[in-house]
């Protein structure tokens, strides 16, 4: 039943040699990796307006210049990462670049920053997608948290089916959003040129300024809008998802993504400024623009649906990047080895499941409100941007060629470092302090995990083989009752080639229990040791006996054989106690004790 359910949900298992067939081209890669960046068009310009509106009309006048500055950053980051994916076609992005060129500490900074950002990306994008839905259908507003959590786990299930299938599922909403958003910008600009572009009907008064227009306010608007730059780095982490030539295909996706993203961000910001749009409760900026440009018709509702879909599915970019980055770090011994395990569908399923759980927890904790999640956003990703570009500068200088490329990466590193400082400073009290604490904590966790793996390796190394000596082993067959399964276990333990004793823990208080009489009748060669247990505890008398024989008789290892019968149907197991399972858990923690299950099928 479980196997059938898994096949229905996730599909048939894929053989390892089919991994090349599961890769995607440029169009599929754009569907997998572009959704996060493109989806930020729905909330990036709005975050700019949310800050600038505090300064009234004077502040709103800087909407387009701030958007142009963000477009410049998009171009710098995309250009720098195009060089990275061509030079590092094996993937790994900022983490691998920093590790190879700047050292372990910088790699840990990049890894912790990106892992944090990926979790926040899922939470922010899904919450923003649900906000787009509730803008068109306000009756759903009160259920936004439940809808968002359900969407996160739906995307998780899609990703567990494999990269190629997720690309096929996400292609329609991604390309629909591209067409409809470019259509919105084009129609809006055309109407503006014609003089027929109307302002939004509920435009706020220009006298509503509550703060002075300062440089700090402009920097806050810029840092909020920089959420639009996130998602670009995921391409560098997932280069191995692309078909050969991997680096060239990844670079093509980066170029297309940068052009589309910059065009949409600046276009939406310009229309918002031209139409006098200001953020209002329960309706997004894109919804306000679409309602006026298209009218409240089919095109408007299609735009809202496409926006909602790409925002929700934008989380897919993180589901593509987080598991692969975690696998790279696990391979280096800085995350649990389980993060490297490929599932039935050739995806890193443990990373996918963990990402979904963390993002859902964030959504619940912050009530699904985008404005509360955004301040935590972008600090991590720009930290990783800086580490990656600085690492590429060192890479080019070491290589001795491509000094012009080092200049490009140097400019990118400087720009992203400035943006990181601006974001951390302007958003620190609003929530960025949380990320500034999480990243060092993750770095300490990486070191602790690596310390454990190095310790385990030092204990298991073959260089210590001379310390291994012959061991004396005693086999204890734990007998709960005398039946055919016990006889099967007796025949088995006799084949182990070590001294064997049978042990029964007597909880009934009988001096000569019934099992002793049956034992004397059925078994002559192996003695039965009856351990009294006046307090009806099975574990403690057994542990005391094990310690006694090891101490007094010099046995190095005691192997405890736990016979148990297996019922024919799963529901029948509910009718029996599972003392053997509990004993196995307890005994497995005792040094010098080996536990062996002997199962007998009815």
Within a 10 A sphere around the Cβ of 406, how many other Cβ atoms?
A: 19
Q: Does residue 479 sit in the same domain as residue 593?
A: yes
Phi, psi angles (nearest 5°) of residue 24 = -125, 160
Residue 461 lies in a domain: no
426, 454, 482 - which closes a domain: 454
CA distance 425 to 369: 22
Residue 322 lies in a domain: yes
Q: Return the exposure string of 481-495: e unless at least 16 CB atoms fall within 10 Å of the residue's CB, then b.
A: ebeebbeebbebbee
Q: Are 16 and 346 in contact (CB under 8 A)?
A: yes
Q: Which CATH number fits the domain that encloses residue 130?
A: 1.20.1740.10
Whose structure tokens read 């912050």? 366
The H or E element containing residue 566 is strand 557-566
Q: Which CATH number fits the domain that encloses residue 549?
A: 3.40.50
Q: Does residue 231 sit in the same domain as residue 330?
A: yes
With a pLDDT cut of 90, the percent of the chain lying above it is 9
Q: Does residue 385 sit in the same domain as residue 290?
A: yes
Q: Is the dihedral of CA 99, 102, 105, 110 positive or negative?
A: negative
Domain that holds residue 150: 2-454
> What pLDDT shows up at residue 5?
67
Low-confidence ranges of the chain (pLDDT < 70): 1-22, 92, 132, 136, 163-166, 202-209, 282, 344-346, 370-372, 374-378, 402, 431, 464-470, 509-511, 576-578
Within a 10 A sphere around the Cβ of 56, how many other Cβ atoms?
A: 20
Q: Does residue 419 sit in the same domain as residue 524?
A: no
Residue 154 lies in a domain: yes
DSSP string, 397-424: HHHT--HHHHHHHHHHHHHHHHHHHHHH
Whose structure tokens read 């229990």? 513
> What pLDDT shows up at residue 592?
84
Count of structural domains within the chain: 2
Residue 190 lies in a domain: yes
> What pLDDT shows up at residue 597?
83
- Starting at the edge strand that comes first in sequence, how are the strands of the sheet with 557-566 ordered? 528-532, 500-506, 473-478, 557-566, 593-601
CA distance 215 to 59: 11
> What pLDDT shows up at residue 534?
77
Q: Does residue 322 sit in the same domain as residue 221?
A: yes
Q: Does residue 446 sit in the same domain as residue 475?
A: no
* The two structure tokens encoding residue 449: 């995990």
Beta bridge partners of 474: 558
Residue 121 lies in a domain: yes
The H or E element containing residue 176 is helix 163-194
Residue 463 lies in a domain: no
Q: Does residue 493 sit in the same domain as residue 441?
A: no
Query: Which of 163, 168, 122 shows the shortest CA–CA distance to 347?
Result: 163
Q: Does residue 16 sit in the same domain as residue 163?
A: yes
Q: Does residue 170 sit in the same domain as residue 230?
A: yes
Q: Does residue 229 sit in the same domain as residue 133?
A: yes
Q: Are 274 and 192 in contact (CB under 8 A)?
A: yes
Within a 10 A sphere around the Cβ of 429, how many other Cβ atoms?
A: 9
Residue 459 lies in a domain: no
CA distance 472 to 474: 7
Residue 368 lies in a domain: yes
Burial class (CB in 10 A: 0-12, 13-18, 19+), 533: middle
Q: Does residue 109 sit in the same domain as residue 167?
A: yes
* The two structure tokens encoding residue 404: 């012009």
Q: Are 140 and 270 in contact (CB under 8 A)?
A: no
Q: Does residue 448 sit in the same domain as residue 529?
A: no
Longest dimension (CA), the chain: 106
> What pLDDT shows up at residue 203?
47
* The two structure tokens encoding residue 13: 């298992």
pTM higher than 0.85 for the full model?
A: no
């Amino acid at each position: 039943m479980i196997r059938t359910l898994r096949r229905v949900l996730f599909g048939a298992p894929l053989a390892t040699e089919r991994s090349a067939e599961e890769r995607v081209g440029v169009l599929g890669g754009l569907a997998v990796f572009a959704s996060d960046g493109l989806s930020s068009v729905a909330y990036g310009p709005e975050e700019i307006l949310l800050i600038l509106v505090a300064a009234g009309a004077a502040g709103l006048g800087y909407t387009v210049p701030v958007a142009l500055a963000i477009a410049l950053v998009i171009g710098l980051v995309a250009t720098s990462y195009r060089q990275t994916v061509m030079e590092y076609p094996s993937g790994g992005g900022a983490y691998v670049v920093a590790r190879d060129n700047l050292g372990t500490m910088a790699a840990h900074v990049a890894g912790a920053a990106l892992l944090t950002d990926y979790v926040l990306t899922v939470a922010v994008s899904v919450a923003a997608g649900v906000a787009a839905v509730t803008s068109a259908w306000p009756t759903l507003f009160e259920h936004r948290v439940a809808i968002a959590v359900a969407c996160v786990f739906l995307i998780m299930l899609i990703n567990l089916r494999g990269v190629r299938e997720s690309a096929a599922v996400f292609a329609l909403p991604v390309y629909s959003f591209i067409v409809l958003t470019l259509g919105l910008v084009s129609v809006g600009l055309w109407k503006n040129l014609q003089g027929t572009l109307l302002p939004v009907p509920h435009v706020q008064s220009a006298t509503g300024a509550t703060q002075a227009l300062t440089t700090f306010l402009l920097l806050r608007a810029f840092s909020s809008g920089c959420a639009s730059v996130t998602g670009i780095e995921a391409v560098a982490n997932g280069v191995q998802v692309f078909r050969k030539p991997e680096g060239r295909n990844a670079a093509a996706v980066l170029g297309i993504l940068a052009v589309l993203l910059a065009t949409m961000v600046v276009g939406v910001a310009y229309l918002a400024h031209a139409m006098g749009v200001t953020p209002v409760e329960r309706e997004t900026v894109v919804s306000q623009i679409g309602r006026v440009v298209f009218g409240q018709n089919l095109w408007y509702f299609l735009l809202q649906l496409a926006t909602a879909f790409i925002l929700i599915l934008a989380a897919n970019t993180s589901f593509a990047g987080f598991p692969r980055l975690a696998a790279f770090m696990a391979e280096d011994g800085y995350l649990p080895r389980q993060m490297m395990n490929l599932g039935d569908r050739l995806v890193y399923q443990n990373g996918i499941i963990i990402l979904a759980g963390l993002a859902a927890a964030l959504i619940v904790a912050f009530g699904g409100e985008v404005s509360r999640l955004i301040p935590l956003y972008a600090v991590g990703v720009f930290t990783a941007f800086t580490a990656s570009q600085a690492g590429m500068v060192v890479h080019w200088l070491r290589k001795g060629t491509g000094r012009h490329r080092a200049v490009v990466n140097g400019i990118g590193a400087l720009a992203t470092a400035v943006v990181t400082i601006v974001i951390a400073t302007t958003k620190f009290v609003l929530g960025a302090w949380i990320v500034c604490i999480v990243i060092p904590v993750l770095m300490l966790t990486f070191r602790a995990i690596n310390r454990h793996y190095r310790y385990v390796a030092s204990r298991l190394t073959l260089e210590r083989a001379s310390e291994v000596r012959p061991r004396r082993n005693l086999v204890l067959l734990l007998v709960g009752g005398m039946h055919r399964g016990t006889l099967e276990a007796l025949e088995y333990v006799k084949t182990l080639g070590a001294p064997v004793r049978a042990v029964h823990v007597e909880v009934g208080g009988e001096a000569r229990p019934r099992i002793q009489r049956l034992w004397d009748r059925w078994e002559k060669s192996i003695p039965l040791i009856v351990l009294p247990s006046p307090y009806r505890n099975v574990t403690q008398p057994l542990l005391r006996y094990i310690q006694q024989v090891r101490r007094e008789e010099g046995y190095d290892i005691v192997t405890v054989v736990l016979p148990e019968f297996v019922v024919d149907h799963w529901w029948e197991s509910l009718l029996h106690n599972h003392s053997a399972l509990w004993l196995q858990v307890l005994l497995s923690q005792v040094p010098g004790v080996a536990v062996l299950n002997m199962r007998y099928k009815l």
